[in-house]
Structure 1
Amino acid sequence: MSNKKVGKQTIMLENAPAIIGVASIVGPKEGQGPLKDYFDLIINDMYFQEKSWEKAERKMMKEAVEMAIKNSKLPYDAVEYFIAGDLLNQIISAGYTARDIGIPFLGIYGACSTMSEGLALGAMIVDGGFAENVVVATSSHFCTAERQFRFPLELGNQRPPTAQTTVTGAGAAVISLKNDNPRITFITIGKVIDMGQKNPNDMGSAMAPAAVDTIFRHFEDTKRSPDYYDLIVTGDLASIGKDIAEDLLKEKGLDISNKYSDCGLMIFSPNQDVHAGGSGCGCAATVFCGYIYKEMKKGRFNKVLLVATGALMSTTSTQQGESIPCIAHAVAIENL
């Protein structure tokens, strides 16, 4: 048994890799929300001067990666691996970004949990001595996600109150062996949880049990209590999923309500007509790389548990009436 393994699903990072540079880019709606002052770039055109929404998303990811590397103060060629994924068919935003930036590439898919998955894998690579510097990234775009997973916007379909609004945004973070804060200390890899939910317009209900399973396992494995953290934040359960997660955790004897927030609720204001709240790979990515990271650098937060959640469905599985398998990965990020 590895001496880095703690409990059933958690890894302790002995060298505690640092996050030394981040970047966040968001769309117009996100740029009008309560976190607007934390983002590095707010675009005012959903096309981002490109010919399609898909190309706009790709451009957001590429610019976020380049900006994060610049903010890390590392030379470009010091970054040894690029780990990224997104929601578009065969993670094309990540693939084309990798083509353009020329850094050895590991493509991943965790749906909206991709930021936590990328941070986890990047930190393990650095902690294991396989690289000194790695950049991780993810992105999403409201228009591309709606067109792929639900209905083309041109149809004007009415969305139910349970629906969430995919965040238009990209986030990137550079993970390094450098002696700096904040650091990634523990990772809890989630299991796929499927409670039979089939409604693609109610992601919060589908993903909440996966978040609960991972959060509960993290505390069981580490023997920590919720009071250890200044902030426990899920990726994009939004209003419906967050309430479900809190209730399910209380049934397990774990009350996190005084430390718990959700990126899908943090990024938008209630008056922005986003229905249940935000979602998408860019949701956790931009809230972490924008707001949370910068507040950690200021010392407002010193211990954060980031639990990004993802619905591992596809257009094919939805059309075939399949239920929605979900995943959540937890990453403990601390100022040491």
Structure 2
Amino acid sequence: MAKKIGTGTYLLEHTPSAAAFAAIVGQMEGGGPLGACFDYVEQDSHFGKDSWEQAESELQRRTVEAALKKGGLTPKDADLILAGDLINQCTGTTYGLRGLGIPLLGLYGACSTMAEGLALGSILMDSGIARHIVAATSSHFSTAERQFRFPLSYGGQRTPTAQWTCTASGAVVLAPCGDPPYLRAVTVGRIVDYGITDANNMGAAMAPAAADTILRFLGDTGAAPGDFDAIVTGDLGIVGSRLLCTLMEKEGVDITRQHRDCGAMIFDPEQQDTHAGGSGCGCSASVLCGHFLPRLRTGEIRNILFAATGALMSPTSSQQGESIPGISHLIHLSAEKKGGK
């Protein structure tokens, strides 16, 4: 059973395995620096469907099925799926997964949803109630623009701090044993709100939450940044990443050598004109599943912290002048089981 220590960190006794994983992205993401690491790059942004929302559902379904297939499994082999997205009421997930017949726990953690799914899934797996649990999420540039900003036909100009919502999806199949990487520990995020109200500066809104969670994990476990090959944040982008390092330095912790951000990695800001980088549920999920988990499996890297970040806002709250609360959930992923055994 998972053991709680400190302020909200759970040590996983049986170190569940990320037994299989998959990432599917759109054309824009496939043309970025990490394009070669994804399982599939879809050239049709509609994914063969009639609407953007249907496209995202198709994207998430394909990704979940790809992860299961890579693990030699079918949907019938999955005991649970923990999944969500950015669309109202998580309809991208609902309509995408409704035909698979897998018991669903729908999640909304905004762009932190992948880490939330892995956190809950690993704790459930550690309790022994399931043999296979899937954690998945997705985002689509056009569904997010329509919901949170303006329809594409509006042609609004983006600010320098704005990020580009990724058309991407990632899925991980958790199993009680198997090949690395292993999930060693989880820190559940707290809501952190610094009063940011600019919906075009998500990095600034989420960076304080990432700092809070990473500092809590390090304090709870006694670990140091140098113990990890990478401290990976979800989608702070270029602006938020700088702010995170500054906030950490003010607390006497230097993570500049270890820090990587999925939003800053997935696009080439000069060649692709994505301003402050990538965002969206699928951003951190696809980079984790396409880039980091394969490197952990081969032993190229040994330990990482994955701290996906989410802005817990809605169009209504923004229109009412509310600030943007942030949250960050953290997973310790390792090429070795607990104690290195």
Instruction: Give TM-score, length-normalised by structure 1.
Output: 0.98
In structure 2, what is the equivalent of residue 324 of structure 1? 324
Residue 180 of structure 1: how far off its partner (Å): 2.1
More deviation, 289-298/8-17: 289-298
In structure 2, what is the equivalent of residue 59 of structure 1? 58
In structure 1, what is the equivalent of residue 230 of structure 2? 231
1:98/1:104 contact within 8 Å kept: no
1:206-255 CA-to-partner distances (Å, cap 9, x unmatched) read 00000000010010001100111111110000010000000000000110
- Residues 329, 45 of structure 1: alpha-carbon distance in 2 compared, 3 angstrom cutoff: same
- Partner amino acid, structure 2, of 1:332: H
- Partner amino acid, structure 2, of 1:92: T
1:243-283 CA-to-partner distances (Å, cap 9, x unmatched) read 00000000001101111110001111122100100000000
In structure 1, what is the equivalent of residue 339 of structure 2? none
In structure 2, what is the equivalent of residue 50 of structure 1? 49
1:198/1:322 contact within 8 Å kept: yes
Task: Indicate the SS of the match to 2:7.
Answer: coil
1:299-333 CA-to-partner distances (Å, cap 9, x unmatched) read 11110100000000001101111100110001000
Q: Distance in 1 between matches of 2:210 and 2:276?
A: 17
Query: For 1:89-104, what aligned pairs fall within 5 Å after superposition?
Result: 89-104=88-103
Residue 75 of structure 1: how far off its partner (Å): 4.2
Task: Indicate the SS of the match to 1:74.
Answer: coil
Q: Distance in 2 between matches of 1:327 and 1:305?
A: 16
Residue 49 of structure 1: how far off its partner (Å): 1.0
In structure 1, what is the equivalent of residue 121 of structure 2? 122
Q: Distance in 1 between matches of 2:88 and 2:273?
A: 28
- Give aligned pairs, total: 335
In structure 1, what is the equivalent of residue 22 of structure 2? 23
More deviation, 45-54/103-112: 45-54
In structure 1, what is the equivalent of residue 284 of structure 2? 284
Q: Distance in 2 between matches of 1:111 and 1:235?
A: 11
In structure 2, what is the equivalent of residue 163 of structure 1? 162
Q: Distance in 1 between matches of 2:294 and 2:59?
A: 20
State the percentage of identical aligned residues.
49
Residue 179 of structure 1: how far off its partner (Å): 3.0
Q: Distance in 1 between matches of 2:3 and 2:178?
A: 20
Residue 74 of structure 1: how far off its partner (Å): 2.8
Is 1:86 aligned with 2:77?
A: no
Residue 85 of structure 1: how far off its partner (Å): 0.4
Q: Distance in 1 between matches of 2:2 and 2:299?
A: 31
Q: Distance in 2 between matches of 1:75 and 1:103?
A: 10
In structure 2, what is the equivalent of residue 248 of structure 1? 247
More deviation, 290-299/274-283: 290-299
Q: Distance in 1 between matches of 2:235 and 2:178?
A: 31
2:235/2:308 contact within 8 Å kept: yes
In structure 2, what is the equivalent of residue 298 of structure 1? 298
1:194/1:323 contact within 8 Å kept: yes
In structure 2, what is the equivalent of residue 9 of structure 1? 8
1:189/1:328 contact within 8 Å kept: yes
2:23/2:171 contact within 8 Å kept: yes
Task: Indicate the SS of the match to 1:180.
Answer: coil
1:88-122 CA-to-partner distances (Å, cap 9, x unmatched) read 01001111223111100000100000000000011
In structure 1, what is the equivalent of residue 202 of structure 2? 203
Q: Distance in 2 between matches of 1:34 and 1:280?
A: 18
Task: Indicate the SS of the match to 1:198.
Answer: coil
Cα RMSD for the two superposed structures: 1.0
In structure 2, what is the equivalent of residue 218 of structure 1? 217
Residue 79 of structure 1: how far off its partner (Å): 1.0
- Unpaired runs of at least 5, structure 2: 337-341
Residue 3 of structure 1: how far off its partner (Å): 6.9
2:86/2:139 contact within 8 Å kept: yes
Task: Indicate the SS of the match to 1:309.
Answer: strand
Task: Indicate the SS of the match to 2:138.
Answer: strand
- Unpaired runs of at least 5, structure 1: none
Is 1:265 aligned with 2:267?
A: no
Q: Distance in 2 between matches of 1:3 and 1:201?
A: 38
2:2/2:13 contact within 8 Å kept: no
Q: Distance in 2 between matches of 1:263 and 1:179?
A: 26
Q: Distance in 2 between matches of 1:142 and 1:173?
A: 22
Is 1:309 aligned with 2:309?
A: yes
